Structure 1
């Protein structure tokens, strides 16, 4: 029953991912919390892992499936998250080519662009809200943002450095408390 629920949930998220996987992060986070008892902290950790790992960052859904239902859960989530949107893209892509440079095509494109951007921003906000839970984590997020916007530093290096800084801070604060 859990596998079917995972399959239906991630198939729906797949079809709603207009503009990419980031667009469905708020909904994914909410569903995982309420229906699969996956905490916000756990979700943020899995999302961070997806950002660090090579390849598409939405491969993080495999880790979610693994957390919820083991290896079989990872396989079910992988297939149900990537196949529906891929099939939809195949058919829409063919229709898109047939439409050529029609006014309908341009109108649809113009309508979807701001929607996609809004959905991606809401995804970033959802992860940031769940991750920035203290002055330290908020400060790290702000510093990382400034570094990424103002320099050409590899984001992986920024993520690793922030993780190391947070870990050192956590160890020092727990050492001082004991």
Structure 2
């Protein structure tokens, strides 16, 4: 599904924009990623987006490697490379520069105030990302039960790797015929 296939350049531009907006990590921009990829450019369906996100959660490495799947969908290998470069390049450069500057303000009341102000922002953005994915994944009693069980497992079994809970939920979903 690539109605608006602008090629690797368009993929790079979209993910470079998302990169600089990703305060707090990739999950913070999931709603905007969904809006751009699914609703604006029509590069994939909501279900395919959800599946790419799920894949990004279980493969080794950063969970936002899902951008590579999106880029590949749009423009093959060049699109996958453009998505990775766009999403990780600008934010890495900004983080490197900000980190060097940040160290100069150690002990400053200004620095402490910025840190306190950013914490709730990041939590809110991550919650918005979770809601965006949940809207495409939770569509009935069985999926609600699986989501609640995984959430409870994450809270109650803190020493258990969350990827194992995701894998278990996938197996249960497959067993229930939810593999669409």
TM-score by length of 1: 0.91
Instruction: Write the mapping of 1:66-145 to structure 2, written as runs, cut at 5 A.
Output: 66-145=72-151
Question: How many residue pairs were aligned?
Answer: 172
Higher helix share: 1
Instruction: Write the mapping of 1:22-101 to structure 2, written as runs, cut at 5 A.
Output: 22-37=27-42, 38-101=44-107
The list of structure 1 runs, each at least 4 consecutive aligned residues, that deviate by more than 6 angstroms after superposition, is none
1:92-130 Cα shifts (integer Å, max 9, x gaps): 111111122112111111111111111111111111122
Structure whose alpha-carbon radius of gyration is higher:
1
Aligned residue for 1:160? Answer: 167
Kindly report the root-mean-square deviation, in angstroms, between the aligned alpha carbons of the 2 structures: 1.5
* Partner SS, residue 10 of structure 1: helix
Q: CA deviation at 1:29?
A: 0.6
Q: Distance in 1 between matches of 2:56 and 2:92?
A: 20
1:16-49 Cα shifts (integer Å, max 9, x gaps): 1001110000100111112332111111111111
Aligned residue for 1:14? Answer: 19
Gaps of 5+ in 1: none
TM-score by length of 2: 0.90
Q: Distance in 1 between matches of 2:106 and 2:16?
A: 29
Q: Distance in 1 between matches of 2:160 and 2:102?
A: 37
Gaps of 5+ in 2: 1-5
